[in-house]
Amino acid sequence: MTLQNVTRRRLIGGVAAGISAVSVTSSGIGSARAQSAPKTFVLIGGAFYGAWCWHRVTERLEKQGHKVYAFTLGIG
């Protein structure tokens, strides 16, 4: 690539790629730790959805020891 082919977008993209590569290597991906304390999740479905749409997610979270509350919003 010659100097004439360098655009602002390519220059910024190259710098961003270099910064992300440095942050990934320095963050220590291999040293991830599991969360020990159980969390509480409140799940609310969007339009035309209810608590039933969270069934699979709810099961997985509860198996991990979390509390899960899935709600169906209704018209009053």
User: For residue 48, what pLDDT is reported?
Assistant: 85
pLDDT in tens, 15-73: 656 655 555 555 555 555 666 789 999 999 888 888 999 999 999 999 999 999 999 98
Short-list 23, 56, 11, 22, CA closest to 68: 56
User: For residue 38, what pLDDT is reported?
Assistant: 92
Comparing 74 with 66, which gets the higher pLDDT?
66
Residues in CB range of 51: below 8 A, 6 or more apart:
43, 45, 70, 71, 72
First vs last C-alpha separation in the chain: 64
User: For residue 52, what pLDDT is reported?
Assistant: 92
Q: What is the pTM of this model?
A: 0.50
